[in-house]
Structure 1
Amino acid sequence: MLDFVRKLSSEAGKLALAEFAGLRTQDIDFKSEKDLVTKADRRIEDFLISKIHRRFPGHDIFGEETGKTSRGSEYCWVIDPIDGTTSFVHGQPFFSVSIALNKNGNTIAGAVNAPRLGEMFWAEKGKGAFCNGRRIHVSNRDKLVSSVLCTGFACLRSDLKDNNLPVFNKIIPKLRGIRRYGSAAVDLSFVACGRLEGFWELNLKPYDIAAGVLIVQEAGGEVCDMKGKSNYPEDGILATNGKITRKFLKAIR
């Protein structure tokens, strides 16, 4: 199954690069004043759905653009055709294709392809996490002051009341640094390979995080919600190297 996930991710990444190079103003639409969607999002999702249903016609699919198609299967593909559409539209490299396969609600395989960065991350349950064929692991830093974290602001883009700024303001003085890349799937992958000690965000959807969460866990990291429980992403998400989780949660109280 992982071989199919990786092949699908590779093909979708090539398509995303072609769409990125040829993006035109008329290809951009708006879900809201701040929330963008492109014809590329829809074309890549259609491509993924077609490939999956050709290989596994009975499987369910949950995509960002098309929603969930339920066929009563124990398997469900969770896909985000372009995670980081704003970066994609603005010519920035921090976007990705995220593909995860769930079985009975548990993610068993996933891949995040950041084609403009030339990196594909993947994991299979119980078999570790990899980037471009190399085994990856989370970092060993155990102090907030020596940690670099990443976050996002979906709350501001959608004008939501559940706002990330109070958490941001509490935690930033305690850290070495903060980064903002604009793709939760990339952020999670960077935690998995040790470039970041952690990532948190509010108001995400399952397709934003499904593949990335498995990659973090298989790289030795820890994932919870913003209360230290397992109700993510509904109650926010915090992914870390496992060494700063409790310190982060204490710092934002």
Structure 2
Amino acid sequence: MQPDQIAKQVIELSKQAGDFIRQERKTFNADKIEYKGLNDLVSYVDKTAEGIIVAGLEKILPEAGFITEEKTKNNIADQYNWIIDPLDGTTNFIHGVPSYSVSIALKEYNELILGVVYEINLDECFYAWKGSPAYLNGTIIKVSNAPTIADSLIATGFPYYDFTKQAQYIELFTHLMQSCHGLRRLGSAAVDLVYTAAGRFDAFYEYNLNAWDVAAGIVILKQAGGQVVNFNGGDEVLNTREVLATNGKITEEMLAVVQRYFA
């Protein structure tokens, strides 16, 4: 397997799905919304885009399995598995807020080895694979050099259906709001991660995330020189559903703050 050649094909596929999503947004209306759960929205756009992606990936790597958000295909293979979010930021898409993306990752056994995130509205494609630099539209990107929280712009995501940790989250939010350059909530965890990879953000944290929300962005961030841990400081984030992503320079400081509220 040549990861650079696979990456090129996945990039083109992500843009194909992104083109479909972009066109559908022009005529989309609220009558087409479905609810998977409390505040958990989906539409035919997510499902159709996922079908486009799955069909393309089956041709690229026929032996691979799939972990998909919309369950158009879910079959776990032994060695390779694609992890797909066809439209990360569905709520933004539905409301016409321009921050949503296609997210595609490849995992070999238990290691993420390739990631592509295509931000549709800005036509920005972020990608990387094991051993490569991280790229944005062909240009190498790197994380920021911010040395402290006080020097940082930090991204987060708001819980929208599991409110059991809401009190701790608000306390942490309040602390950081008073301690950094600012907090931002874009509504797409994949975009938050690649913006951290590109140095636009210095850190990103969120809990209650799924593997398809973060897998591709994690690959890109790490290859850009960043660091990703869970709220306990461990490397496992796909199953713990907690992500703290940083430029690698403020990880310990961020962890100390997060653990103050999420013991």
Q: Name the TM-score, length of structure 1 as normaliser.
A: 0.94
State the match for 2:20 in structure 1: 15
CA shift in 2, pair 1:71/1:170, >3 Å:
closer
Correspondence list, 1:106-185, <5 A? 106-153=111-158, 155=159, 157-163=160-166, 164-185=169-190
Q: Is the 8 A contact 2:51 2:72 kept in 1?
A: no
Alpha-carbon distance, 1:235 to partner: 5.1
Q: What's the % identity of the aligned pairs? A: 38
CA distance in 2 between counterparts of 1:47 and 1:78 reads 14
Q: What secondary structure is seen at the aligned counterpart in 1 of 2:66? A: strand
State the match for 2:247 in structure 1: 241
Q: Is the 8 A contact 1:171 1:248 kept in 2?
A: no
Q: Is the 8 A contact 1:162 1:202 kept in 2?
A: no
Q: Which ranges of structure 2 fall in alignment gaps of 5 or more residues?
A: 1-5
Q: Is the 8 A contact 2:67 2:76 kept in 1?
A: no
Q: Is the 8 A contact 2:209 2:241 kept in 1?
A: no
Cα shift readout 1:105-162 (whole Å, capped 9, x = no counterpart): 2111110001111211001111110001110000001121110000001x3x113313
The answer to whether 1:95 aligns with 2:104 is: no
CA distance in 2 between counterparts of 1:15 and 1:182 reads 20
CA distance in 2 between counterparts of 1:15 and 1:32 reads 25
Q: What secondary structure is seen at the aligned counterpart in 1 of 2:249? A: coil
Q: Is the 8 A contact 1:5 1:109 kept in 2?
A: no
CA distance in 1 between counterparts of 2:197 and 2:75 reads 31
Alpha-carbon distance, 1:76 to partner: 0.3
CA shift in 2, pair 1:218/1:73, >3 Å:
same
CA distance in 2 between counterparts of 1:72 and 1:31 reads 26
Q: What secondary structure is seen at the aligned counterpart in 2 of 1:18? A: helix
Q: What secondary structure is seen at the aligned counterpart in 2 of 1:47? A: helix
Instruction: Give 1:160's aligned amino acid.
Output: F
Cα shift readout 1:42-66 (whole Å, capped 9, x = no counterpart): 0101111111223333210110010
Cα shift readout 1:91-114 (whole Å, capped 9, x = no counterpart): 111100000111112111110001
Q: How many residues align?
A: 251
CA distance in 1 between counterparts of 2:60 and 2:246 reads 35
State the match for 2:3 in structure 1: none
